[in-house]
Amino acid sequence: MQTTALHTAHGSEAAAEGGLVDPFGRSVTYLRVSVTDRCDFRCTYCMAENMSFLPKKDLLTLDELDRLCTAFISRGVRKLRLTGGEPLVRKNIMHLVRQLGRHIGYGLDELTLTTNGSQLARHAEELADCGVRRINVSLDTLDPEKFRRITRWGDFSRVMEGLDAAQKAGIAIKLNAVALKDFNAPEMPDLIRFAHGRGMDLTVIETMPMGEIEEDRTDRYLPLSKLRTDLEQQFTFQDLAYRTGGPARYVKVAETGGRLGFITPMTHNFCESCNRVRLTCTGTLYMCLGQNDAADLRSVLRTSESDANLHAAIDDAISRKPKGHDFIIDRSNNRPSVGRHMSVTGG
């Protein structure tokens, strides 16, 4: 309680300093926080099968994560998303979720998370109790055998149980599917009907060139402009102004009545409206997913109990937020645009 009071007091002081605005006039109101680089899947487009994970001593403690998130909320962050790796495999993660839930309605509009669904059956009810009203679940195929192949270790039935549990707990679900040529493109109509039939939104995402993996991403890259054209052979789309705070652009599907989102970092980037930054589980703040410039907030946290230095470090980082990313996929340079894996930065 004393720690919470201390952070709240510091947050009140910081709030007087104003919100976080980058050099291009964009207000930073969305923080994505990776709570772990570990995952119980090894999705082929995301991770190598034999990953080397960070030593646990390098990770921020749950209290340090709480302190950092509280500082950002006090500076105008209205939406907080927990990511990983797989966030629900972090030991005692629900303690952090409950701590952060205290900010909902007191500066924070939404606390949410992105998950692979494997641990949802166990945690869905408590997530709802902590104030989580909406989550993203990554699901690239409805075929159990293909699911095992793309995730290497995943159990499709456990994910389905997790979706059931989350919906029973009253949590709204958006499914995320990475569009992969020669893998799940023909399944997209079925994924749309599955999601909308259960009252869930679906967002499709272009694969991003991050981290060394065993395969050539150019073999899997599917422009969403092409996917959309193909889908429009059997569906009628109406563009929507609907936004969730992230980069997806939505359409309404007339035949199902549901929403379909497109995230297109490659064919059409969304940098002009970027309102987010990413914090890793080691306390590194990335101002752009597709750039390597970063700020070390862990050392600031651990060398000072006062939040004044922390806020100064955050201000300095935001002042370096770039205008846009440098993602590119091409065969002439078969290296990822960004060397770190998505699981390190936070999905």
270, 259, 263: which is closest to 248 by C-alpha?
263
Report how far residue 96's alpha carbon sits from residue 66's, in angstroms, rounded to the nearest whole number: 7
Question: From residue 142, how far is each of 113, 155, 157, 179, 226 by CA, in Å?
Answer: 22, 12, 10, 13, 21
Report yes or no: 177 and 150 within 8 Å, Cβ to Cβ: no
174 known ligand binder? yes
Report yes or no: 31 and 79 within 8 Å, Cβ to Cβ: yes
249, 252, 256, 287: which is closest to 270 by C-alpha?
249
342 known ligand binder? no
45 known ligand binder? yes
Report how far residue 113's alpha carbon sits from residue 137's, in angstroms, rounded to the nearest whole number: 9
46 known ligand binder? yes
Report how far residue 267's alpha carbon sits from residue 57's, in angstroms, rounded to the nearest whole number: 39
Residue type present at position 341: H
69 known ligand binder? no
What 3-state class would DSSP assign to 97?
helix
Report the chain's terminal Cα–Cα distance, integer Å.
Answer: 32
90 known ligand binder? no
276 known ligand binder? yes
274 known ligand binder? yes
Question: Which distant-in-sequence residues (6+ apart) come within 8 Å of 159 by Cβ?
Answer: 116, 117, 118, 120, 137, 139, 147
277 known ligand binder? yes
250 known ligand binder? no
19 known ligand binder? no
Helix (H), strand (E) at residue 310? helix 308-318
Peptide bond into 85 cis (omega under 30): yes
Report yes or no: 173 and 132 within 8 Å, Cβ to Cβ: no
Report how far residue 43's alpha carbon sits from residue 21's, in angstroms, rounded to the nearest whole number: 35
Q: What are the binding residues?
A: 32, 39, 43, 45-46, 81, 85, 114, 138, 174, 208, 271, 274, 276-278, 288
Binding residues for S-adenosyl-L-methionine: 45, 85, 138, 208
Query: Where is the binding site for [4Fe-4S] cluster, in residues?
Result: 39, 43, 46, 271, 274, 288
List, as residue ranges, the binding site for GTP: 32, 81, 114, 174, 276-278
